[in-house]
Structure 1
Amino acid sequence: METNTKELPKVKGHWLFQNSMEIKENILGFVQKYRPQYGNYFRADTIAQDICFITDPDGVKHVLQENNRNYTKSFGYEILKMFLGEGLLTSEGDFWRKQRRLAQPAFHKERLAKITKEMAASAEQMSENWEKLSENGKAVNVLHQMNEITLDIVAKSLFGADVGANLEDIRNAITITNEYAMKRIVQLVRLPLWIPTPAIRKYNKAARKLNDIIFGIIEKRRKNQAEHPDLLSMLMAAVDEETNEGMDDQQLRDEAMTIFIAGHETTAIALFWIWYLLAKHPEVEKKLHEELSAVLGDQQPSYEHIPRLKYTRQVIDESMRLYPPAWMVGRRPIKDDVIGGYQVPKGINVLMCTFDIHRHPDYWENPEEFNPERFSEENVKKIKKYAYFPFGGGPRLCIGNNFALMEAQIIVATLAQKFKLKLASEKHPEMEPLITLRPKGEIEMVIEKR
């Protein structure tokens, strides 16, 4: 290691359990409690793993960008691999680089323009549902609503017309597998999937159903070479310029699963927090409504409107600053490293806490305040690199970031054009940092016509 470096300051813990219990109980609270005391780089040990916490944008830049080849995905991603296979979220090295080259063109903004029609159609369908819900005045679980619409959009964007009668089965299977993954990732003891507990049996049945549907659609596409305007068609047509190879059926399945899990859950969570913040801040909601009236009038949002919905995008960005769905990014160094002058040993779990950096007083003025003006064209230039990174960064920047942002803009614009939400209770939702930053328990809102 370099000279003039320091060992990571270590949080004192129990003689046997170290920091395990405190981290398991509230990892976000743990970081926010000890960062002011120990600084932006500190270490905590648990029974299962040793952790280096980073809450410095320069440290994030080092890990994700400058020295990214020295880092692999961390502990949690190994668990996800049993659900997602070797998709872009979980694969490593040369295999990942090949898959990224193959998949990247499908997610270019120009390609996604075709898919915004599906997004708009699903949003309009939910708008019709909200029309009925607004009439009875009953409170609804908005997170469930957002999960439903984002899953429908992902399924139709991925499989197009072939999703057909499979949509309800896909929705049920994804919900079951996703919920099981959420629980498994925080379990201290993880049973093998061949042990037939009720939860594992339920998961395995759902996973088999999902595999049957995905492989069935792929087989149908292989036999019928007609072009389809969806993501699967783009992935099947992709050929790697370096190897002259495309994706086989297993690779296509793994990428489809990755798009399903990563593509609907994170956006649904982001949308929930957007509606929550708008309900809490009527002055922001009013300005959003003014933009929607000026840009859209009575028109349905489309791809052409997106660049003009600037304040809508600012609301989305500021919501993801306060409540980033991917609340932390984990990596593991292959070799010893030095970050911010601190010795970081190989094999330790490096957790870059997106949530804390997004609220860090060194990088944000009045960090707890909801203020979309931070992301105006003028102000966004002042934001320090990696002080805001809801989609990660470096070569492994989330490939679906453009998809997610376009989807969020279309959904928010369509629904906020006609409706506003009010909290059914003044109770502030607790955060539950699992794979994503979920609200804890059921948070209900009342839909009202504007």
Structure 2
Amino acid sequence: MAFFVDLVVLFILSGVAKALYELWLRPLRVRRMMAQQGIRGPPPHFFYGNNREVAWMKKEAREKPMNNLSHAIFPTVMPHITAWTAMYGKNYLNWHGVEAQLVISDPELIKEVLLNKEKVFHKAPATGFMKKILGDGLVTSEGDKWVSMRKLANHAFHNECLKNMVPDMASSARMMLERWKDYEGREIEVFKDLTILTSEAISRTAFGSSYMEGRIIFEMLTKLSMLAAKNAFRVQIPLIGIIWKTADQAEADRLEEGIRHAVMQVIMKREEKVKAGDIDGLGNDFLGMLVEALHDTDKSKRITIDNIVDECKTFYIAGQETTNTTLAWTMFLLAVHPDWQEKARKEVFDIFGNEDPNADGIPRLRTVRNQFHYSFDAQI
């Protein structure tokens, strides 16, 4: 009995020692080591790090009205980075809970990290809510798996395939413009309609499905993204998530399962069409490439159902978000600068007249292309 009591006490003491090291000694050691290299940053609070400060600063920035129409919104979106780079320099140490994060804004260092010639910089593994959104897809994977999935994506979106997608994209845009005719003289929620446009275009071109089929996936991914944003700066006590889940975590589990089921339905529908002889082969779109890899006779090239689900989620959410945001921001800038509108409109009519845009004419849209580049750079 005494031995058992001693064992329990030893177990508790070892747990306390480990917690003390992770929560206090290790962060203190890292801060001193970085300070010796000239890297400083906001002092972390016990257990929460700088999370509460970041959340407060973002909340305060969002509540301030933007008095001028400008694309210089970085201080509003990332107020903590703006404040701390001004205080500690281009590179500083930030704490997400007990996790140290080196924030760099020096262009040369950023270039070195992105080039990663020595292969010493690795992607941070997706955890928590982000893991449910991106899984182990192209954005988060590395090594041979990344190379394999990148080859599939390149093959599905090479130049000739993109040209074949233009009619479907134009058709989706035409449907949106037809809806807008009913709103003449009234306000239009452009961002919402562009969300529908990009969602439909991705569903049709990458996955060969209708917007109605893809809408369910988009809606669940959007809800999951909102939960991720809501919990981005919350720190959870280790192991608690295994024993007890918050309402947001339970909802995220439900959404993750729902997304998987919806993607599986799209896959099964494609396979059933092939079996019934309605289509010849699995198709040359991204979904067809993924399903073909699922059944590859070469085991080294074969992927799993989980791989397909993760890649579908990645392209649905990443493709839709980036495209939708760029389109909305470009329209905002065009509204602020009507002279650019006229230049773009004249170029489009000069090249296409009253016809839909086509793959041959799009590369000739130099003014429009430059405007999109400017819009994208402004967001960065």
Report TM bin, short chain.
0.7 to 0.9
Q: TM-score, structure 1 length as denominator?
A: 0.62
Unmatched runs of 5 consecutive residues or more in structure 2: 1-34, 59-76
Task: Give the aligned partner of residue 291 of structure 2.
Answer: 236
**Aligned-residue offset at 1:19:** 4.2
Unmatched runs of 5 consecutive residues or more in structure 1: 325-450
Aligned to 1:9, the other structure's residue is in SS state coil
**Aligned-residue offset at 1:193:** 9.0
Give yes or no for contact 2:129–2:227 (8 Å, CA) kept in 1. Answer: no
1:121 aligns with 2:176: no
Give the AA of the match of 2:216.
Answer: D
Give yes or no for contact 2:153–2:286 (8 Å, CA) kept in 1. Answer: no
Return the match for 2:200 from 152, 162, 165.
Answer: 152
CA offset digits 1:74-105 (Å, max 9, x no partner): 36666422233211112233322332233321
**Aligned-residue offset at 1:195:** 5.5
Task: Give the aligned partner of residue 81 of structure 1.
Answer: 131
Q: Following the alignment from structure 1 to structure 2, what is the Cα–Cα distance between the partners of residues 61 and 19?
A: 27
Give yes or no for contact 1:8–1:43 (8 Å, CA) kept in 2. Answer: no
**Aligned-residue offset at 1:312:** 1.1
Change (3 A) 1:216 1:49: same
Q: Following the alignment from structure 1 to structure 2, what is the Cα–Cα distance between the partners of residues 6 and 109?
A: 50
Return the match for 1:97 from 141, 147, 160.
Answer: 147
CA offset digits 1:317-350 (Å, max 9, x no partner): 11111113xxxxxxxxxxxxxxxxxxxxxxxxxx
The range that moved more, 39-48 or 193-202, is 193-202
Task: Give the aligned partner of residue 344 of structure 2.
Answer: 288
Task: Give the aligned partner of residue 214 of structure 1.
Answer: 263
Matches within 5 A, 1:1-400: 7-13=37-43, 19-24=50-55, 25-26=57-58, 28-36=78-86, 38-67=88-117, 69-74=119-124, 79-133=129-183, 135=184, 137-160=185-208, 162-163=209-210, 166-189=213-236, 192=241, 198-223=247-272, 224=274, 226-227=280-281, 228-238=283-293, 244-324=300-380
Give yes or no for contact 2:199–2:214 (8 Å, CA) kept in 1. Answer: no
Give the AA of the match of 2:102.
Answer: C
Q: Following the alignment from structure 1 to structure 2, what is the Cα–Cα distance between the partners of residues 194 and 112?
A: 48
CA RMSD across the alignment: 3.2
Q: TM-score, structure 2 length as denominator?
A: 0.72
Change (3 A) 1:266 1:57: same
Instruction: Identify, as 1 or 2, the structure richer in strand.
Output: 1
Q: Following the alignment from structure 1 to structure 2, what is the Cα–Cα distance between the partners of residues 206 and 79?
A: 11
**Aligned-residue offset at 1:245:** 1.8
CA offset digits 1:231-276 (Å, max 9, x no partner): 2113333599997523232211111111111111121122221111
**Aligned-residue offset at 1:37:** 5.0
Change (3 A) 1:201 1:64: same
Q: Following the alignment from structure 2 to structure 1, what is the Cα–Cα distance between the partners of residues 374 and 298?
A: 40
Aligned to 1:50, the other structure's residue is in SS state strand
Task: Give the aligned partner of residue 69 of structure 2.
Answer: none
Higher Rg of the two aligned structures: 2
Aligned to 1:247, the other structure's residue is in SS state coil
